[in-house]
Amino acid sequence: MTDGPTYGFDTLQIHAGARPDPATGARQTPIYQSTAYVFRDADHAAALFNLQEVGYIYSRLTNPTIAVLQERIATLEGGAGAVCCSSGHAAQIMALFPLMTPGKNVVVSTRLYGGTVTQFSQTIKRFGWSATFVDFDDTDAVKAAIDEDTRAIFCESIANPGGYITDLDAISAIANDAGLPLIVDNTTATPYLCRPFEHGATLVVHSTTKYLTGNGTVTGGVVVDSGNFDWSASDKFPSLSQPEPAYHGLKFHETFGPLAFTFHGIAVGLRDLGMTMNPQGAHYTLMGIETLSLRMERHVENAEKIAAWLETHPNVEAVTYAGLPSSPYNHRVEKICPRGAGALFTVALKGGYDACVKMVDSLEIFSHVANLGDTRSLVIHSASTTHRQLSAEQQEAAGAAPNVVRLSIGTEDAADLIADLDQALNKAGS
Ligand SMILES: *Cc1c(COP(=O)(O)O)cnc(C)c1O
């Protein structure tokens, strides 16, 4: 298939990036389980290593199965290029890596996946980087947090665990004024519900572990570049705008234009950090993506029904689903994710911590796991698990206080899920 702007999402999620295998005609994308690729001759090898010709050298850098997935996701996001890596967390490091040097900071939202809070508040310090956490609903605070050493702004489109929606247009306007790239983690929305580049984002990251794969089989991540950022407009991004010492002085922006970030991610990021996706994993994610829109429609339909029902349950204190008219984020659905507010939200129980634990232990269809975005419905008590390393204030700010349970609504029968929640809530008591 030749990709054209006229194809719809449902067509692209099946066909973008894929073509019948030139050697065998295989219709499905083969799993190229090969570490290395034979060079035609010494000149061909040299051209590949000089990035003068695009091709395959070694699977730490590029692999034909993964290349299809990269093109598929870049197309669905409306980006110029994408680099897959071993996990969502790897994708976050890969996104920051070309932008940051010791002493530089990233301004980030307080409403983030718990593991990201830990990665940003603790682990990146080892690289000499730091993160400044801000309430992204307070745009003045976001502006005030940016200083001379800021190199990026980071948020989630629909934020884990509460399902809060970030006003991407407002944040990207601030990033633009400051000459900084906006990185959006679009994991919980997927490109079917939200397209961050249409709201001014520069880079999108995903944990492909979640909805893109959709069936809880493999971990993976991806960094997608819009191709729209002018890395040479200031002297803030020398890895991209100046001769890159890690690639014999190549100027990535001058040489590759809108694909500068993508080429840097492969030629320097994957080469030296080695956070590579494996072809088997890419295969599972390609299988999942074929049905992304169908699953997301059902995820949203179920989440809307279940959130509305939960709100009326006598043992429930509050439900954070942005698709509910009671949510303070409801007015952003139309603008940011018009096809629905996703399927991830939290429920606060009147019985507090003890009721949460009892509910989680009583559910039968919902699985108690540290994952989201599976066809199976999932539940977790964030404060004692995914957000456990956080302080009480960080838990509160992230929407993961001890009295809340996080639900990831699957694609089962809504009536069955409601019945399961009902029996568990009744056991949990008020
Ligand atoms: C799971 C998740 C991550 C981390 O992804 P992994 O694939 O587990 O490394 C990052 N951001 C969000 C929003 C997530 O849900």
Say how far apart CA 246 and CA 240 lie, in whole Å.
Answer: 11
In a domain? residue 115 = no
For residue 378, what pLDDT is reported?
A: 96
Specify the pLDDT at position 351: 93
d(CA 409, CA 417): 9
Same domain, 278 and 331: no
Q: Give yes or no for residue 141 having a pLDDT over 90.
A: yes
User: Residue 85's beta-bridge partner residues?
Assistant: 221
Residue 280 and residue 327 in one domain: no
Inform me whether the pLDDT recorded for 279 exceeds 80.
yes
Q: Each residue of 80-113: pLDDT tens digit?
A: 999 999 999 999 999 999 999 999 999 999 999 8
Q: Establish whether residue 225 lines the binding site of ligand 1, counting it when its CB lies within 6 angstroms of any ligand atom.
A: no
Cα 259 to Cα 54, 277, 311, 413: the distances in Å are 12, 20, 47, 43
Clarify whether residues 220 and 93 are in a common domain. Answer: yes
Least Cα distance to 285 among 99, 136, 65 occurs for 65
Within a domain: 109: no
* pLDDT tops 80 at residue 162: yes
pLDDT level of residue 50 (50, 70, 90 thresholds)? confident
Flag whether 237 is in a domain. yes
Domain's final residue, options 288, 310, 332: 288
The CATH number that applies at residue 70 is 3.40.640.10
Same domain, 206 and 268: yes
Closest alpha carbon to 239 in 104, 73, 109: 104
Quickly list H helices, 2-99: 9-15, 42-49, 64-77, 88-96
Pocket of ligand 1 contains residue 269 by CB under 6 Å: no
Decide whether any atom of ligand 1 lies within 6 Å of the 263 Cβ.
no
Residue 152, CA atoms < 13 Å, CB-side half-sphere? 28
The pick from 207, 218, 275, 371 for probing ligand 1's pocket by mutation, whose C-beta has the most ligand atoms within 8 angstroms, reads 207
Is 339 a domain residue?
A: yes
Whole-angstrom distance, CA of residue 77 vs CA of residue 324: 26
Number of domains in the chain: 2
Query: CA–CA separation, 30 vs 32, rounded Å?
Result: 6
At residue 287, does pLDDT exceed 90? yes
Question: Looking at the structure, do residues 219 and 304 belong to the same domain, yes or no?
Answer: no
Identify whether 208 is part of a domain. Answer: yes
Residue 1 has pLDDT above 60, yes or no: no
* Final residue belonging to a domain, choices 254, 288, 322: 288
**Whole domain around residue 416: which residue ranges?**
293-429
Q: Assess whether pLDDT exceeds 70 at residue 3.
A: no
Alpha carbon distance 235, 206 (integer Å): 28
- So what's the pLDDT on residue 5? 57
Residues 267 and 300 in one domain: no
Residue 107 resides in a domain:
no
Q: What are phi and psi of 265, to 5 degrees?
A: -60, -35
For ligand 1, the distance from its centroid to the CA atom of residue 429, given in whole angstroms, is 32
Pick from 237, 259, 288: which residue ends a domain?
288
Q: Is 116 in the pocket of ligand 1 (CB under 6 A)?
A: yes
80 domain residue, yes or no: yes
